[in-house]
């Protein structure tokens, strides 16, 4: 498996794709990240065309098991960030 792309590599690739400098590309990436974070943390969802949908899901209160002791513990309700991958991306990977 290939190593994940770092932020520096992503900014450089984005700058090349946009035909701009790395500072502008970094600003664009930071703005997108801020917008996604704000929208999802407020309970909304963001669809990135061709990539997928990022959303927040509520998880109910539940019983979990401590793997070290086997003890059952009650875990409070919480929220978790999920992402559904777009069919176009799945097809390009498997295609």
pLDDT tens profile 10-24: 999 999 999 999 999
Together in a domain, 32 and 50: no
Together in a domain, 50 and 24: no
**What's the total number of domains in the chain?**
2
62: left (phi over 0), alpha (psi -120 to 50) or beta: beta
pLDDT band at 1 (very low <50, low <70, confident <90, very high): confident
Together in a domain, 69 and 34: no
Together in a domain, 95 and 50: yes
Together in a domain, 7 and 32: yes
DSSP string, 66-90: -TTT--EEEE--EEEEEEEEPHHHH
Together in a domain, 17 and 56: no
pLDDT band at 25 (very low <50, low <70, confident <90, very high): very high
Beta bridge mates, 67: none
By residue range, what is the domain housing residue 93?
46-95
Together in a domain, 72 and 95: yes
Q: Encode pLDDT of 61-71 as tens digits.
A: 999 999 999 99
∠ CA 37-22-86 to the nearest 5 degrees? 45
Together in a domain, 50 and 94: yes
Yes or no: say if 50 and 88 are a contact pair by the CB < 8 Å rule.
Answer: yes
Beta bridge mates, 81: 56
pLDDT at 48 over 90: yes
**Helix, coil or strand: residue 23:** helix
Average pLDDT, the chain: 94
């Amino acid at each position: 498996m290939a190593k994940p792309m770092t932020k520096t590599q992503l900014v450089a690739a984005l700058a090349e794709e946009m035909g701009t400098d790395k500072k502008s590309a970094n600003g664009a990436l930071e703005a997108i990240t801020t917008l996604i974070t704000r929208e999802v943390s407020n309970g909304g969802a963001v669809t990135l065309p061709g990539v997928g949908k990022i959303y927040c899901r509520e998880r109910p209160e539940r019983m979990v098991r401590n793997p070290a002791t086997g003890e059952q513990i009650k875990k409070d309700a919480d929220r978790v960030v999920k992402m559904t991958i777009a069919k176009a991306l799945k097809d390009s990977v498997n295609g």
